[in-house]
Amino acid sequence: MAQEFEPVGSTPFPAATAADVLFQLRCQAPLTHIITNHVVTNFTANLLLAIGATPAMLSDPQESSEFQSLAKALSINVGTLSQSQAVAIRAAVDAALEAGNPWVLDPVAVGPLSLRTRLCEALIQQAPSAIRGNASEIMTLAGFESVGRGPESVALSDDAVEAARSLAQQTDAIVAVTGARDYITDGEQVLRVEGGSALLTRITGAGCALSSLVAACLGTGRAPLEAAASACAFMAAASEIAEERSQGPGSLSVALLDSLYDLNLHDLERLES
Ligand SMILES: Nc1ncnc2c1ncn2[C@@H]1O[C@H](COP(=O)(O)OP(=O)(O)O)[C@@H](O)[C@H]1O
Ligand SMILES: Cc1ncsc1CCOP(=O)(O)O
Ligand SMILES: [Mg+2]
């Protein structure tokens, strides 16, 4: 349920636009190449399939490069990065740019760890279409002061809006900073998605899967700001319904797949009330 809160400069994202992107997503089922961490691979693939996208998890450097001629979008996540995965990520991003495909970065736990931090700093110079992270990650990547605690945020998304805007201006990417409220910005306009379920923080992979859902929405060819905000709205609406149907984190993650499967305009409109 939406709260009485109007952060200066942000506007609520309309349900009707999200429903339109959902329709396009289901019509096109965009093939989305995902290089992600080994904690969330299965959950991410199931989540994309449930809503109607087509995930493909490939991580060999040569195949990652070749696959971009087939895929519509690429999702990169550094959650369990290794030196060899970094090679595949670089190959895939180069190929995505070559093919003209949109690509999304999820900078999991960027900051305290050098391998992923150096890679993320290099990747944001490579024209990502969107960057999705929690408040700590977005603040760190934007060069704002922040203390991270591994993959979990220690900051509020409400306090990371300026960092998100700054990062968007630095990179020309859409930046989505998520948390109790999600903010999605192109550096000027800031859209807001409210609602959802705090129980999402009690299962692993909600943020990672959301980043891949952003990539799938971008793969429809929709304008990146609307595509990224739509993915956030899908997760918020579906998790709100899933929480009502579940008893805790275990049943929530199953109920989330079910509610994404039959998500509709009516569900998305609940976020506005
Ligand atoms: N307190 C909360 N209430 C409702 N939804 C939340 C809350 N915290 C996070 N979420 C949602 O959980 C998903 C993952 O976001 P987040 O926790 O910020 O990412 P990460 O898992 O990368 O840390 C997003 O859809 C976000 O809106
Ligand atoms: C627990 C964990 N450890 C490394 S990656 C990862 C998953 C993080 O998932 P999310 O960022 O979606 O919470
Ligand atoms: Mg994360």
Q: Tell me the pLDDT of the chain (273 aa) as tens digits.
A: 444 555 668 999 999 999 999 999 999 999 999 999 999 999 999 999 999 999 999 999 999 999 999 999 999 999 999 999 999 999 999 999 999 999 999 999 999 999 999 999 999 999 999 999 999 999 999 999 766 667 777 889 999 999 999 999 999 999 999 999 999 999 999 999 999 999 999 999 999 999 999 999 999 999 999 999 999 999 999 999 999 999 999 999 999 999 999 999 999 999 987
- Torsion angle (degrees, nearest 10) of CA 217, 218, 224, 226: -20
Q: What is the pTM of this model?
A: 0.96
Angle at 135 between CA 133 and CA 141, to 5 degrees: 65
Q: Pairing mode, if any, of strands 182-185 and 174-178?
A: antiparallel
Alpha-carbon distance values, 41 to 38, 45, 164 (Å): 6, 6, 26
> In which order are the strands placed within the sheet that holds 130-134?
10-12, 190-193, 182-185, 174-178, 130-134, 103-106, 73-77, 31-35, 54-56
The answer to whether residues 259 and 271 touch, using CB atoms and an 8 Å cutoff, is no
The answer to whether residues 87 and 62 touch, using CB atoms and an 8 Å cutoff, is no
The answer to whether residues 47 and 228 touch, using CB atoms and an 8 Å cutoff, is no
Q: Of all atoms in ligand 1, which is nearest to the CA of residue 210? A: 25
How many other C-beta atoms lie within 10 A of the C-beta of residue 269? 15
Separation of 240 CA from ligand 2 center, angstroms?
A: 21
Q: Of all atoms in ligand 1, which is nearest to the CA of residue 133? A: 22
Residue nearest to atom 4 of ligand 2 (CA): 79
231 lines ligand 1 (CB under 6 A): no
Model pLDDT, residue 7: 64
Give the CATH fold of the 10-272 domain.
UDP-N-acetylmuramoyl-L-alanine:D-glutamate ligase (3.40.1190)
